[in-house]
Amino acid sequence: MSQVETDDRLTIVEQNDIQRIEPPNWWIGFKNLSLQLLVHHPQISKRTPYISYQGVSIEKVHHADSPNYLFIDLSISKGTKAGRFNIVFKKEGEDDLTQTYELKSRIKPAEDYLGFNSTDAIYLITPDRFANGDPENDIVENLKEKKIDRNDGYARHGGDIKGIINNLDYIQDMGFTALWPCPLLTNDMPQGSYHGYAITDYYQIDPRFGTMEDYLEMSSKLSEKGMKLIMDQVANHCGVEHWWMKDFPFKDWINHQEHYENNNENWEGVKAITTNHRRTTNQDIYASKIDKKNMNEGWFVSAMPDLNQRNPFMANYTIQNSIWWIETANLGGIRQDTYPYPDKDFMSRWAGEIMNEYPNFNIVGEEWTSNPLLIAYWQKDNANKDGYNSNLKSPMDFAMQEKIVKGINDEETWATGFIEIYRALANDFIYVSPSDIMVFPDNHDMSRIFTQLHGNVVNTKMALSYILTLPRIPQIYYGTEILMHDFDKPGDHGLIRTDFPGGWDGDEVNAFTGKGLNDEQKDMQSYLKKLLNYRKTSSAIHEGQTIHFAPENGIYVLFRTDNNETVVHILNKNESPVELNLKRFEEIGLNGKTLTNIITDASVVWQDKFLLEDRGSVILTTKSD
């Protein structure tokens, strides 16, 4: 207990009698003046809450099905000052319970929360596998999984936030402008807890990754470098060991709750009612009700309970949690996992409320589909026949990723090879804003790009260079720059998420310094670094017009151009030297101009013909510096 002096100079006695109040604090100055507190404490429903603080009033108190919850609707008026106040829970004949709550001042205007966009290049990290900056937190005795085994692809390896912080210079020097770590919140699961997607506390950093202070330090240091932090969030499901699974507030807090409660004593031996994964039911005008229900209400896997966002308290909880993290950690974006699995009307509201509060923010949603029509459906303001507006600015471009791999791997014929990539980009007419879509060579859930391209370095460079010159937001998975792969067991998640060499004391190979890398790895690292750093200042790549020419003779040419610059991207599958006739490209207006090769710095005059000496990609620019 301590004395706290509030901004209006009223002294209160700080107390923390309540087991859990979420959100744990809030802020003044939001457009939405309402706040709903989840209060969890034994028999709290038998008490009545009171608040005496200017500008804050209790609008309504909701009782849950469990006697251990209250949900309190607060109204925070526009003129409310930042400060602390006590919420007093009274019951006749018993001592009061008091919880001190804080309303903070916001650190910057809402408009200054700038989300990632096409000027960015995002580095995706599986934190447990990147770098171990603090071995002291490898094992936390009060958590269920205590195993550290770097030889086991599904055990924890010890990577943490400190490890990321220690290597931010490397990430920046490579040319990345934004960082997306897989979830860092507590996953107190008995096994497989390293990946982060079975969250057991939505307000706590997993202590094996570090502390809240570590997370905020990482965000602050990224900001100092002009970089953005993207938080990986999960609205669809939690982990089965989440604290509320032992005391649900309502009978419909999760989907198939009754089935779980009837079988939870022997849950490992009972098959959960899992989703059918038929994601097209979200758009299908012929879809049956049962298929839609099974898709949206089924559990993702038996260890991940499906959250019921149709419950209004769960909906408020999820939205407030996202906003709390944006404000707390000064986020530069959110990546939302399994986007089409939750209730889609809720997801529209979730994204809409965030973007209403932060108009320059951004959210990327994962919809794993090869169908551009489905990608388009999920983008904000798409003209959907059912009237649905997702409010999601940035869906993910799995369709383009698939076609890039196929187009590079396949033999060049009239209907295969580069033409598949050309046709994929031609589908951009269906998108409201192609440059807001996120494209990638691979990620933490699929075989690494080097594996998908059968270990061909030249083909890997072609894929990466094309991705980094497209009208898109590019994301690169850690280790791509050193040709990390999963050849031994293609598609195995543990292998895909291999430790980054040099992230652990005693590693014989250190990719941060180059020690022990082979010549191909060093060359790829240098190649990607050169391309990424060039991309940082290329207005043509960021926002220029896109013009591409149908592939001919095993060559595909794409241009990005604006008033300041033209970037030429050439993909060539010919094994022998070949001359490219430049007269075909006269409409671009480059005749007689001197261009520079972005990778080699060599100069070339664009006139008549251009000799392509080697198979691979060539990237040229009209910029002279």
Q: Supply the residues annotated as catalytic.
A: 337, 366
Helix extents (H) in 513-592: 519-535, 539-543
Nearest C-alpha neighbor of 382 from the set 434, 346, 309: 434
Residue entry with tokens 């709750």 = 257
Q: What are the tokens at 257? A: 């709750």
CA distance 290 to 1: 54
Backbone angles phi, psi at 304, to 5 degrees: -130, 90
Q: What are the tokens at 58? A: 């209790």
Q: What are the tokens at 383? A: 């003209």
Q: What are the tokens at 367? A: 């919809």
Backbone angles phi, psi at 604, to 5 degrees: -145, 140
- In sequence order, the β-bridge partners of residue 12 are 4
Q: What Rg value do the Cα atoms of the chain yield, rounded?
A: 26
| Greatest extent of the chain over all pairs of C-alpha atoms, in Å | 95
Backbone angles phi, psi at 394, to 5 degrees: -130, 90
CA distance 77 to 55: 5
**How many C-beta atoms surround the C-beta of residue 238 within 10 A?**
25
CB crowding 355-365: b at 16 or more within 10 Å, else e: bebbeebbbbb
CA distance 338 to 536: 30
Identify how many contiguous H helices and E strands the chain contains and give both numbers: 15, 28
CA distance 83 to 106: 12
